[in-house]
Structure 1
Amino acid sequence: MTPKPTILLLGWRTPYIRIARELGLRTVVLYAPGQLDSGQVDPAEADESMLVEQLANVEHVLRAVARLDLSGCIAVHTQEEWALASAALVARHLGVRGPDAEVMCRFRDKALQKDHLTAAGFDLPAHLEIPDILDAGVPSRVAEFGFPTVLKPIAGAGTSMTVLTRDVADVERAQAEVRAHRETPEVLGRRTFIAESFVSGEEWHLDGYVLDGELGFLSVSRYGVNPIDTRQGPLLWSTCLDPEREKWAYQLGEDLVRRSLSVLGLRDGVFHLEAFHQEDPDRLVFGECGARLGGAMIREAIHQKLGMDLYRAGVEIAAGLPVTPPGPPTEEHVAWTYLSASPGRIVARPTEDEVLRRPGVTDFRYLVGPDDSVPDTTVWTAARLADVTLQAPTAEELDARMRELQEWFGNAVVTRQESEIPEPTPQEVTASA
């Protein structure tokens, strides 16, 4: 019997492991400690797997590769933001299909990305590279650059340590946040920052794939609240625009995607591009772009609205297989949103079935365990209690269903303040030790 071709996957994501196996591929998966500790990892789902302390560290990944059976490996693939460069270098090391390392650096490093686009004639807001955000001279440098300014890690993700600054005091508060930040093994390197002139407008996200340098699929979505504003408390959500009802939006999006991805050099793979829609004149201003899928339930909402499974497309492109065409779209209005509740330790919460029975809900998942604490959604856009997708026949009804769901869920989750949790007795401490 001819052995199955092998694909090396960096990061544990059950959907793409399942898809790879459906495509007849032997799956070898490297996963991070945080994925294991959060309960994402089920070794039975993959053919072979191994813990790697830092997927962003090429040495750690290569040492794991040396211990694994990668005979018949045809490709290295990841959808983890932090592992894109590792995947590229490991693919080069193995001599198999994978991302291009130079291209991945342009998609990871926000200053490199904008330098390339500016040199190609894109009209972008000004930016300033800050080698060390904790340097004493940074506040005066940012003041000279000009306010309002957005400060963020040069190779970060979401809104982690992303701050809108309007004066020197704001910059100093941003420095204090960095000093207090507790690094995790998965997310390292938070000293080099970029300062960007603030861009007004409604933020959109554009998701799809390219194949042989050509745009193969595009979805255009509109955020209900700009991601940076979630640091003030609102929950992040977005709605998929309809290619027929909002044809003008797709024309704007397609032009920006084609031009920017061509300059950045992405020829094969999925992308998640964020841009700001401005009126009078009607235009999209490039924000930033990742060479991976968008987070939250962007993939699920696009699949429901437009029939395209971008997880499947990503694996198929990585393995050199034909991309499965999209299924039939729906005329329903489709959105996803974060769900959260009052701060504290979770005492009780709705079951998955209870949430799925709410009006319009089509998919749902918890991001934390039943005994964990409610994450602080103002820290960054990856912090939330749960994700959900909804559908409705009109935009107005979709909005009403989402607001009702957010309120119902927030009230249905019972929490207890950490200070209310009694200290363990000496006997309990001994037993747990």
Structure 2
Amino acid sequence: MTPKPSILLLGWRTPYIRIARELGLRTVVLYPPGQWDSGQVDPAEADQSMLVEQLSSVEHVLRAVARLDLSGCIAVHTQEEWALASAGLVAEHLGVRGPDADVMCRFRDKALQKDHLTAAGFDIPAHLEIPDILSPEVPSQVAEFGFPTVLKPIAGAGTSITVLTRDAADVERAQAEARTHDETPVVLGRRTFIAESFVPGREWHLDGYVRDGELEFLAVSRYGVNPIDTRQGSLLWSWCLDPEREKWAYRLGHDLAERSLSVLGLRDGLFHLEAFHQEGPDRLVFGECAARLGGAMVREAVLRKFGLDLYRAGIEIAAGLPVTPPRPAIGNDVAWTYLTAAPGQLVSRPTEDEVLERPEVTDFRYLVNSDDAVPDTTVWTAARLADAVIVAPEGAELDVLLRELRDWFSDAVVTRQESAEPPSTSHEDIPSA
């Protein structure tokens, strides 16, 4: 009897598991300790599952694979930033469909990525690779490189330990922050950094997928504040631009995404590309790109705007199945936003139903348990209490609706004012922004 086709998933994401099973695939899932500890894992949802200490470690994943029933396996798939290269090597080991490990390294390593694009003639910010951010020579090296400069881990995510530096003192403060993370169990600890010339302009994000090397779907969105501004307390939010009203933006986005993804070698899969829009004349400057779905509520916003579930598209592409096509975009404005309150221990908060009762809110989720602390949003971009999507009625002012929702939510949350410790977790358990 021919075994049922199966798919090996790295990382526990309930929608992916559900979609894979709906598509007739047997699901085998590997997940890190933090996903178990946070209550994300329900073994009944998958056909087979196993805890793996580090999904970024090929050794750990292969040792788990040796214990699993992978008969009929047709693909390895992940949307976890930290597991992309592992997924590629494990797919090659099994002889099944999966990402190309070399290509995934270009998407994971910001210096490799920029080197490839620079060699192809892209006009992108200058950069300097820093082998060890804690080296005493770094402040002088960055000063010689030139200020203002953005310092960040070479293979990080979510602006973790990302700092805009304007002088040597700022670099020393960045070193102190990196040293703190390097000495704690929080998986933000990194040593190899990249210094990038600061790029002015409003940051955009481009989300979609390629298949057989062709860009088949693209959603262009504009951040309300640039992600690095969250380090000063701004709340991240974004809205989907309309492909009819903002045709010019889609022309810019399509050109940048098509050219850069081709150079980087992504032939099949999802992408999340960040770029800076500069006016007069309009142009997009490449920032960085990930070979996975964007974080926050990118999936939900695209689903509301275009009727396309990028989770489903990711599984369909991974398994070699036809992709369910999008529908025409709705005319309403669609946006997602972070929601939070004063840092401290949670005392009470509105229920999910209470948030969804607000007329403009279509999607909502908490990222912090009811007995946890509200995280300090200035530590890293992914720190917040909750996410929400709104669909604005025609003619409504999007920024007004977002401000009203944030103010209402913040006022409805009650906390005890005390220091909120960052979650004790590994970098593999941090949502990718």
TM-score normalised to structure 1 length: 0.95
CA-to-aligned-CA distance 1:84-114 (integer Å, 9 cap, x gap): 0000000011110000011000000000000
Provide the residue aligned with 1:393 in structure 2.
393
Aligned counterparts of 2:24 and 2:175: Cα–Cα separation in 1: 49
Is the alpha carbon distance of 1:349 and 1:167 closer, same or farther for their aligned partners in structure 2, counting shifts above 3 Å? Answer: same
Aligned counterparts of 1:356 and 1:309: Cα–Cα separation in 2: 20
Q: CA deviation at 1:184?
A: 7.2
- SS of 1:219 mapped into structure 2: strand
- SS of 2:373 mapped into structure 1: coil
Amino acid at match of 1:413: V
What is the 5 A alignment of 1:197-212? 197-212=197-212
1:369 maps to 2:378: no
Aligned counterparts of 1:299 and 1:186: Cα–Cα separation in 2: 26
Q: CA deviation at 1:402?
A: 1.1
Contact 1:32 1:186 in 2 (8 A): no
- SS of 1:181 mapped into structure 2: helix
Is the alpha carbon distance of 1:212 and 1:402 closer, same or farther for their aligned partners in structure 2, counting shifts above 3 Å? Answer: same
Contact 2:181 2:189 in 1 (8 A): no
Aligned counterparts of 2:188 and 2:318: Cα–Cα separation in 1: 26
Is the alpha carbon distance of 1:188 and 1:408 closer, same or farther for their aligned partners in structure 2, counting shifts above 3 Å? Answer: closer
Amino acid at match of 1:155: A
Amino acid at match of 1:398: L
Provide the residue aligned with 1:173 in structure 2.
173
Contact 2:313 2:323 in 1 (8 A): yes
Is the alpha carbon distance of 1:184 and 1:365 closer, same or farther for their aligned partners in structure 2, counting shifts above 3 Å? Answer: farther
Provide the residue aligned with 2:9 in structure 1.
9
Contact 1:359 1:401 in 2 (8 A): no
Q: CA deviation at 1:149?
A: 0.1
Aligned counterparts of 1:342 and 1:419: Cα–Cα separation in 2: 10
Q: CA deviation at 1:382?
A: 1.1
- SS of 1:50 mapped into structure 2: strand
Is the alpha carbon distance of 1:168 and 1:135 closer, same or farther for their aligned partners in structure 2, counting shifts above 3 Å? Answer: same
What is the 5 A alignment of 1:29-428? 29-181=29-181, 187=187, 190-394=190-394, 396-418=396-418
Contact 1:54 1:185 in 2 (8 A): no
Aligned counterparts of 1:182 and 1:72: Cα–Cα separation in 2: 41
Amino acid at match of 1:295: G
Amino acid at match of 2:322: P
Amino acid at match of 1:99: P
Q: CA deviation at 1:326?
A: 1.1
Aligned counterparts of 1:141 and 1:308: Cα–Cα separation in 2: 46
Q: CA deviation at 1:395?
A: 6.6
Contact 1:202 1:223 in 2 (8 A): yes
Aligned counterparts of 2:66 and 2:354: Cα–Cα separation in 1: 46
Q: CA deviation at 1:256?
A: 0.2
Amino acid at match of 1:61: V
Aligned counterparts of 1:327 and 1:67: Cα–Cα separation in 2: 42
Q: CA deviation at 1:148?
A: 0.1
Aligned counterparts of 1:189 and 1:351: Cα–Cα separation in 2: 34
CA-to-aligned-CA distance 1:390-429 (integer Å, 9 cap, x gap): 0113475322111111001111111013379xxxxxxxxx
Unaligned runs of 5+ in 2: 421-433
Q: CA deviation at 1:33?
A: 1.0
Is the alpha carbon distance of 1:212 and 1:408 closer, same or farther for their aligned partners in structure 2, counting shifts above 3 Å? Answer: same
Larger radius of gyration between Structure 1 and Structure 2: 1
Amino acid at match of 1:293: L
- SS of 1:16 mapped into structure 2: helix
Aligned counterparts of 1:306 and 1:36: Cα–Cα separation in 2: 33
The size of the alignment, in residue pairs, is 420
Aligned counterparts of 1:274 and 1:65: Cα–Cα separation in 2: 34
**Deviates further, 329-338 or 168-177:** 329-338
Unaligned runs of 5+ in 1: 421-433
TM-score normalised to structure 2 length: 0.95
Aligned counterparts of 2:372 and 2:115: Cα–Cα separation in 1: 42
Aligned counterparts of 1:271 and 1:394: Cα–Cα separation in 2: 30
Provide the residue aligned with 2:426 in structure 1.
none
Amino acid at match of 2:231: R
Amino acid at match of 1:195: A
Amino acid at match of 2:267: R
The share of aligned pairs that are identical, in percent, is 83
Contact 2:181 2:188 in 1 (8 A): no
Aligned counterparts of 1:92 and 1:187: Cα–Cα separation in 2: 27
CA-to-aligned-CA distance 1:138-165 (integer Å, 9 cap, x gap): 0000000000000000000011000000
CA-to-aligned-CA distance 1:322-372 (integer Å, 9 cap, x gap): 111113431110000000001111010000000001130000000011000
The RMSD of aligned alpha carbons is: 1.4
Q: Which protein has greater RCO, CA pairs closer than 8 Å, 6+ apart? A: 2
